[in-house]
Structure 1
Amino acid sequence: MEKPVIIFGAKGIAHPALEIFNSNEVMVYGFLEEDESMHGTEINTVSVLGNPEDDGFLKLIGQKAEAFVAVDDMKYRKFLVELLNERRKVQPINAIHNTAYISTDAVIGHGNFINAKVTIGTAAEIGQHCILHTGAIVDHKAKLGDFVQIGAGSIINAEVTVEEGAFIGSGVTVVSGVTIGKNARVGAGSVVISSVGANETVFGNPAAKIK
């Protein structure tokens, strides 16, 4: 990648995102963060420059720099992606750690955060703007929708479908063929043996619905 990257957000996954770009020898120009108390500070020698909505910085995106959205909160993540789409006509790039394994015939969208030791299997499909934490496994023919978050060490087995906006905590096992519905939430350490409906929250072994 020839252009440096500006990271949107300076909390949550922002520091790991910087480490990912460093692992690939990609220069990070700086961070943009809405929390003004962080402006002028540094994360591992890289400066927090200003606000994500500042046109002075936004105008660099697409011409002189790439953008990556490093925000955990899905609502704000969507807002920043739409900001870049509408005002700069660009999609955020992927941040993929150099120790991640991605099958040559997996399909991956834009703006994804794929941390160290993640494995993405054959014919798996990853949507856009997903967050895959350290050591997550997405097995063959599994499908993740847009804005899905998978916790560290979780296993998404073969032919599982995880729909848009779903959140899967750390150390979860989802057995083959199950569907996790849109905006559903799966608590850490759960074992999911049957499909989860849209907007449902489940937890436990086997995972059960929480009202």
Structure 2
Amino acid sequence: MLNQFLTAYDEVIVATGDNDLREYKLSILTLLTIPIATIVHPTAVISPFTEVGTGCTILANAVININAANGQGCIINNGAIVEHDCIIGDLVNISPHAAIAGHTRIGRKSFIGIGASIIDGIVIGKGVIIGAGAAVIHDIPSYTVVAGEPARSIK
């Protein structure tokens, strides 16, 4: 029944900010061989020399600069900036107005809070949560929650 409904469309998108739920729904679509869309708002600016994975949603006024690579199922929210040479893992959610400086790596299923700033060359592990407005100036290991200026582990 679900397969019949979904095949009525050329492509579908998973529109949830919850990384785990988005991963689950994308995996079902993949198993059902339903084509998955990538959506880019017309005001977003994406370098032609960057990679955007399948199933990504790139919203209004987002900027993704040269040589960046976004994995599958990512959300790059309103006004977010992903600078040059960044590597964004699968299922990452970058909130509105977050700024990711160049040469930064963000691991799979991480969440970058609204207005967070990450300086150049930082490595963020998998499953990291960065709080709203945090200023990240050091690498963050996987499955850590950080907040504050500068960002410090809170969990």
TM-score (normalizing by structure 2): 0.96
* Distance in 1 between residues matched to 2:21 and 2:131, nearest whole Å: 22
Structure 1 residues 147 and 91: CA distance shift in structure 2, 3 A: farther
5+ residue gaps, structure 1, are 1-52
CA distance in structure 2 between the partners assigned to 1:91 and 1:206 by the alignment = 42
Greater relative contact order (CA < 8 Å, ≥ 6 in sequence): 2
Q: What's the CA shift for 1:80?
A: 1.2
Number of residue pairs matched? 155
Identity of counterpart residues, as a percentage?
34
1:73-84 correspondence to structure 2 within 5 Å: 73-84=18-29
CA contact (8 A) 1:91 1:110 kept: no
Contact 1:128 1:147 in 2 (8 A): yes
Contact 1:192 1:205 in 2 (8 A): yes
Is the 2:6–2:12 contact (alpha carbons within 8 Å) kept by the matching residues of 1?
no
In structure 2, the partner of 1:112 is 56
Cα distance per residue 1:18-60 (max 9 Å; x no partner): xxxxxxxxxxxxxxxxxxxxxxxxxxxxxxxxxxx72330332
Higher normalized strand content (fraction of residues): 1
SS of the residue corresponding to residue 66 of structure 1 reads coil
| Larger Rg over CA atoms | 1
Where does residue 196 of structure 1 map in the other structure? 140
Q: What's the counterpart of residue 10 of structure 1?
A: none
For residue 181 of structure 1, the aligned residue among 116, 125, 130 is 125
Listed as ranges, the gaps of 5+ residues in structure 2 are: none
Is the contact made by 1:162 and 1:180 (CA closer than 8 Å) also made in structure 2? yes
Give the structure 2 partner of residue 69 of structure 1: 14
Give the TM-score of the pair, scaled to structure 1.
0.71
- Matched with 1:13 is none
